[in-house]
Amino acid sequence: MGRTDPKQRKDVVLAMVVSQYIHTDTPVSSAFIADEYEQDISSATIRNILADLEADGYLMHPHTSAGRIPTQRGYRYFVDFLMREIVLMDDERRRIQLEYEQGVRELEHLIERASAVVSDLTHCASIVTMDDYPKTYSLRGTNYLAEAVGVHGLRRIVSILKTLEEKEQILEVLRRDLDKKIKIYIGQETACESFDDCAMAVSHFKTRGGAAGHIAVLGSTRMDYERVVSTLEYVSALMRELD
C-alpha cells in the first residue's frame, strides 16, 4: 500500500482502530497506531488521519480519553469494506459438526443446539427460528448481552430482553429480504429502538427438505464481526444439508 494513497491509509487506520477496540473495549491511541502500522509513517500524519476520520464521522473522541472509538458509521464502513474473511479453527468446526450430528434427528433439538453453539462461539446472544414452525424460536446467550451492556445499563438490558421475549420485532428484522448470504444491521438500522446500541447479523437458510429458517447473532456494536460472520456461514451451511 503506497505512502501516497491517502484513502488507503485512512482505511488501514480505521480498520486498526475498529479491530483493536472490538478486542479491548478501550479507546485506541495514536501511539498504538504508530507502533502497529506496517509502514514508516510519522506520528503527525497518524494524528491527522485520526482527526480526519473523526471529522468524517467514522470515529469519536470520548471526553475522558485521548484515544478514539468507532461510531456506528465507522462500524458500517468496516463491515462493508474492510472486514477480513476468517476461517474457524478445526476444533471449533468439529464442535459445530458434533452438535449437528447429535441433534440431526430432531429438528427442535437441533435448533436448540445450533443456537447454543453459535452463542458460545461468538459471545453474543443467538436466535434461531424456522419459518414454518412459529413456535420454534430458540434464544441463547442473553448473559453475553448483559455483560456487554454492564451494570450501568440495567434499564437498557431490560428493554433489550423485553424485545427479545416479545419476538414480533425480532421476527420482523429476521424476515427482511436478504440481498446476500448474511446481512448485518448496526444500531438504528435494526429499526428496533431498544437495539440502538446493538448490532445484529442475520443468515437465512433453506434445508434440502424444504424447511426455511434464520440464524441471528445479537450483540453490542463492538461485536467481533469477522468471527460472527464465519460462524453464521458455517452453521447455516450445515443447516442447509438437512433433509
Rounded Cα gap, residues 137 and 214, in angstroms: 10
At 209-240, the pLDDT tens digits run 888 999 999 999 999 999 999 999 999 998 88
Is CATH 3.30.450.40 correct for 90-239? Answer: yes
Q: Say if 6-82 and 90-239 have the same CATH topology.
A: no
Provide CB contacts within 8 A for 150, sequence distance 6+.
Answer: none
DSSP result, 111-144: HHHHHHHHHHHHTSEEEEEETTEEEEEEEE-HHH
At 36-63, the pLDDT tens digits run 987 888 889 999 999 999 999 999 998 7
At 154-199, the pLDDT tens digits run 888 889 999 998 899 999 999 887 777 899 999 999 999 899 889 9
Query: pTM of the entire structure?
Result: 0.91
Is CATH 3.40.30.10 correct for 6-82? Answer: no
**Domain map of the chain by residue range?**
6-82, 90-239
At 4-30, the pLDDT tens digits run 588 999 999 999 999 999 999 999 999
Rounded Cα gap, residues 97 and 77, in angstroms: 32
